[in-house]
Structure 1
Amino acid sequence: MDDKFTPDAGPERSHPFLEELTAAGVPTHMHDWLRGHGIGRLAAKMGIVFQEMSAERMVATMPVEGNQQVAGILHGGAHLVLAETLGSFAAGIHAGPDRQAVGIEIGATHHRSASAGLVTGTAVAIHLGRTLATHEVVMTDEEGKRLSTARITNLIRDVRQPNG
């Protein structure tokens, strides 16, 4: 059986998302962690590119172009996609290899709009506990002006092993 989810399914499948991970700026030491699923189809489609990746601080950019609402400004949902991507990845790193982070709450306040350029999201840990991780995520424009502020909380739980 040939699939992209089975680890070590042949040399061409050892990292089925290698191009995606590289294009998204994911450091090579984190490729094994993401080898089976990449950065996620939505994050890739939105053009999210990581600059820094740790449990305490996660930074990425996202283009406004292609992520606008009908009025020509960055869609509010795009702000939340960036915030959830950053907070969830940071919580996942904190959780470690035998645990997983699952988002349980996210909220945002939009302060100003952006109609062009790149948006930068910076997630900073507020709480990194055994069962919960909370991050504040600030989105800024290319001039450093705050566009939105989000907060995301992830539940950290053990990875369920398949039966058998």
Structure 2
Amino acid sequence: MSYRSLTENPMPIWKKPFDLSLLNASNHGTAARHLGIEIIEMGDDFVRGRVPVDHRTKQPFGLLHGGVSVVLAESLGSVGAYYASPEGHSAVGLDINANHLRSARSGWVTGQARPVHLGRSTQVWHIDLVNEADELICVSRLTMAILAPR
């Protein structure tokens, strides 16, 4: 992957404990669950997840719907922003963009989110989505607001 993290030798950025099974279970009744999005890995400075290319996620021409790519990107960046923010803080999306570079017709699309900026009140995340052949299909940038407890 050509994108570099915040540092050459990443240190863990997470400020809250996480458990992948509990994280995925918390998606019950959400858009992510309906679309089949799964968080599959959290490394020291990244979040990885995937979405199936199936009847729930395709557009009428048989391709992965571009909006589903954006939902996956925002889901990954949002999870990262939440766990990289201090205890008691929450994270909400401010802006997202996506460039669709290639289509996917079947299988799984996997995304990886890494921080570009981890500030006190905002975070910026870069998300790459690839198909099963590891071809880049979408690049996205997500800006998050970090909200202090009320």
Query: TM-score normalized by structure 2?
Result: 0.80
Q: CA deviation at 1:129?
A: 1.2
Alignment root-mean-square deviation, CA? 1.9
Structure having the higher Rg: 1
Structure number with greater CO (CA < 8 Å, separation at least 6) is 2
Corresponding residue number in structure 1 for 2:92: 102
**Identity percentage over the alignment?**
35
Of the candidates 30, 39, 46, which is equivalent to residue 27 of structure 2?
A: 39
CA distance, structure 1, for counterparts of residue 27 and residue 149 of structure 2: 18
CA distance, structure 1, for counterparts of residue 77 and residue 52 of structure 2: 18
Of the candidates 52, 72, 78, which is equivalent to residue 41 of structure 2?
A: 52
CA distance, structure 2, for counterparts of residue 155 and residue 54 of structure 1: 22
Out of 135-144 and 43-52, give the one that drifted further: 43-52
Contiguous gaps of at least 5 residues in structure 1: 1-25
* DSSP 3-state at the match of 1:39: coil
Corresponding residue number in structure 1 for 2:117: 127
Corresponding residue number in structure 1 for 2:20: 27
User: Does structure 1 residue 64 correspond to structure 2 residue 53?
Assistant: yes
Whether the aligned pair in 1 keeps the contact of 2:101 and 2:137 (CA below 8 Å) is yes
User: Does structure 1 residue 82 correspond to structure 2 residue 75?
Assistant: no
* DSSP 3-state at the match of 1:56: coil
Equivalent residues, number: 130
- The alpha-carbon distance between structure 1 residues 58 and 78, as it changes in their structure 2 partners (threshold 3 A), is same
Query: TM-score normalized by structure 1?
Result: 0.74
Whether the aligned pair in 2 keeps the contact of 1:87 and 1:137 (CA below 8 Å) is yes
Contiguous gaps of at least 5 residues in structure 2: 1-18
Question: After the TM superposition, which segments of 4 or more aligned residues of structure 1 sit over 6 Å from their partners?
Answer: none
Q: CA deviation at 1:96?
A: 2.9
